[in-house]
Amino acid sequence: MQHTVHDFEAAARDKLDPVHVDFIAGGARDEITVRANEAAFGRLQLLPRVLRGSAVRDLDITLLGSRARMPVLLSPTAFHKLVYPEGELATVRAAAAAGAIMIASMASTVAVGEIADAARATDSDAQLWFQLYIQPDLEITEALVRRAVDAGCTALVVTVDSPVLGAGERNRRNGFHDLPPGLRCENLVDLRDGERGHVRQIAMSPELNWEHIDWLRGVTELPVLLKGVLHPEDARLAVRHGADGLLLSNHGGRQLDTVPATLELLPEILAAVAGRIPIVLDGGVRRGTDVVKALALGASAVGIGRPVMWALAQGGEEGVRRLLELLRDELDDTLALCGASGLADLTPDLVRVPAWAP
Ligand code: FNR
């Protein structure tokens, strides 16, 4: 039985092909940023308030018009069928049950329309978002956007930190370049000729620039979040180019190695956008206390990547459900211990940087 987020990883490692474990756990180059993300949360301290009790705690959020029952999103992760036969269908059912927003990856192994249908069939009002890599061929990009809109997705997350694919040296060493036979990137199968749905059909765009964001603003009315903006100057540019939000992310340390932990960047990015757009943070979130720290410092929500893959591998829909329940319980518990009756009570004074080094 899994009692912490970390337990899912241990269970999944027992089940999965070690090559796939490396694909999920790994990062770019020396994986310095992978480790930094989690470590940053451990370095901050919580300083709780007492005697401000409340019998129940409100965990609901509304983010760019999407309502959710918890401030933890499922960040986009590719290839769910690699770890569990039903793939993204199992994940979205669990997200819907928890009332959590799932961001479907453009590199999903179930088409976004089918993921959305599975979510709707649960009768939950949980929202589905779609993650996009802008393709050099803008017609294909537009077709993908249209597909997300038709599926009923309520926001687009455009990943901008991947002009080229990050150097996952574990994957190189393992020779992991393709999906196993039978698995495809289903959003792409009928959009491009050639190797239908092959991972190679997801093109990275080294030529991507701000004009592409302006172009995208013109082809959709959905809220657009940029994922992977790290420099405060880029955060200001994002606002100027009409981004509706930022997903502050270093891709879980899978793109440029040695960039700072996202938590460390949060104050600078918040200062740069000055309250004009919401910031969601991902990278290293593993505990309810992590969620509270990020929200107390000013993030509107957080995202989780690897934990979802581990939980899916361990127990399919049931595994992801349990993962989200665990995180929700930890979050609720942490709020109570901090004297908070809801997310609105999370203020920066609850978080401290240690005043002295032991
Ligand atoms: C990812 N991530 C990712 N990001 C994205 O924009 N599109 C994608 O298709 C993927 N795919 C993907 C696969 C796997 C296996 C992982 C681990 C990650 C990055 C993801 O959205 C997120 O930013 C990080 O995973 C967050 O860090 P943690 O929670 O994994 O520490």
pLDDT at 358 exceeding the cut of 70: no
251 labelled catalytic:
yes
pLDDT for the residue 75: 99
d(CA 297, CA 271): 11
Q: State the DSSP H helix or E strand holding residue 352, giving kind and residue range, or none if neither.
A: strand 351-352
pLDDT bin (cut points 50, 70, 90) of residue 357 is low
Token couple for 296: 């107390």
Mean pLDDT of the chain: 96
Token couple for 96: 């819907």
pTM of the predicted model as reported, rounded to 2 decimal places: 0.98
pLDDT at 202 exceeding the cut of 70: yes
pLDDT bin (cut points 50, 70, 90) of residue 164 is very high
Which is more confident, 79 or 355? 79
- Residue to substitute in 158, 202, 259, 306 for testing ligand 1 pocket (most ligand atoms within 8 angstroms of CB): 306
d(CA 303, CA 102): 9
Strands 66-68 and 61-63: antiparallel
Determine the distance separating the centroid of ligand 1 and the alpha carbon of 105, expressed in angstroms: 9
pLDDT at 83 exceeding the cut of 70: yes
d(CA 108, CA 81): 8
* Closest among 287, 76, 98, 92 to 161, alpha carbons compared: 76
pLDDT bin (cut points 50, 70, 90) of residue 203 is confident
pLDDT for the residue 78: 97
Bridge partners, 301 (sequence order)? 280
| 3-class DSSP assignment, residue 221 | coil
**Tally of CB atoms within 10 A around 250:** 28
ipTM of predicted complex: 1.00
d(CA 55, CA 325): 19
Residue for token digits 């089940």? 15
Instruction: Tell the residue nearest (CA) to atom 6 of ligand 1.
Output: 159
* Catalytic residue selected from 20, 80, 212, 251: 251
State the CATH architecture for 5-341: Alpha-Beta Barrel (3.20)
Lowest mean pLDDT among 23-32, 35-44, 163-172: 163-172
* Phi–psi pair at 185, nearest 5 degrees: -80, 95
Domain boundaries, the chain: 5-341
Instruction: Tell the residue nearest (CA) to atom 9 of ligand 1.
Output: 78
Determine the distance separating the centroid of ligand 1 and the alpha carbon of 349, expressed in angstroms: 30
Instruction: Tell the residue nearest (CA) to atom 14 of ligand 1.
Output: 77
Spatial contact of 70 and 99, defined as CB atoms under 8 Å apart: yes
| 3-class DSSP assignment, residue 286 | coil
Bridge partners, 246 (sequence order)? 226, 279
C-alpha dist (Å) from residue 111 to 89, 103, 107, 170, 188: 10, 13, 9, 28, 8
Cβ neighbors of 23 (< 8 A, separation 6 or more) are: 82, 168, 170, 171, 174, 176
Cα angle 75, 91, 26 (rounded to 5 degrees) comes to 50
Determine the distance separating the centroid of ligand 1 and the alpha carbon of 252, expressed in angstroms: 6
Residues in the chain: 358
- Across the range 279-303, mean pLDDT stands at 98
- Across the range 337-346, mean pLDDT stands at 97
pLDDT at 193 exceeding the cut of 90: no
d(CA 206, CA 222): 25
CA within 13 Å, CB half, 34:
17
In the chain, DSSP finds a helix count (H) and a strand count (E) of 12, 12
- Across the range 279-301, mean pLDDT stands at 98
Identity at 194, one-letter amino acid code: G
pLDDT for the residue 54: 87
